[in-house]
Copies of this chain bind each other. A is one copy, B any other.
Amino acid sequence: MTTDFDLTDPGLYGYWVDENVRFSDTDQAGHVNNTAIAKYVESGRLHFDFDVLKSAGTGVDEPFGLILASLTVNYLQESYFPGKLRIGTRLIKLGNSSMTTAHGLFRETGCFATSTCVMVNKVGGASTRLGPHMRARLERLLP
């Protein structure tokens, strides 16, 4: 997904999760495997889902259940074991029945990857329009 925001700017993100590079995240190319970076993105996204999106829905009686429809990861720098990283997450777009999160992955050397995730509001197996109250609450999370 193309976006107007600079996903490498830590100032974009209001929610942060810490992760460790594990040895099993690396591959024989000598760096962190691209699919391990997708795991870091998922850590950031799901903690954001539980802590921010679901609590945004507290007391709202509208059907709400997110599933991942599309993942994009841009690889900017190689990462190595051992290491620590921070994953920033921000809601950047609301559709009728979907939303997009942006993610920036940072180490001491700066932003080494960015990501966008499109999630669909799926209830009973079908894409479902976001209700007006949920939408109003989610809009407040946008940049």
Name the prevailing secondary structure of the A interface residues. mixed
Please pick, from B23, B38, B43, B69, the residue contacting A27 in the complex, using a CB distance under 8 A: B23
Contacts of A30 in B (CB 8 A): 28
In the complex, chain A residues 29-73 whose Cβ is within 8 Å of any chain B Cβ:
29-31, 33-36, 38-39, 42-43, 46-47, 50, 67-73
B34 pairs with A20, CB closer than 8 A = no
Check if B47 sits within 8 Å of A82, measured CB to CB: yes
Number of interface residues of A (CB under 8 A): 35
A73/B71 contact (C-beta < 8 A), A22-B43, A26-B27, A43-B22 known: yes
Which residues of the other chain, B, contact A109 by a CB distance below 8 angstroms? Answer: none
User: Are B72 and A72 in touch, CB under 8 angstroms?
Assistant: yes
Interface members, chain A 58-114 (any B CB < 8 Å): 67-75, 80-82
Chain A to chain B contacts (Cβ below 8 Å), 9 pairs: A22-B42, A28-B81, A34-B68, A50-B82, A70-B74, A71-B71, A71-B75, A72-B72, A72-B73
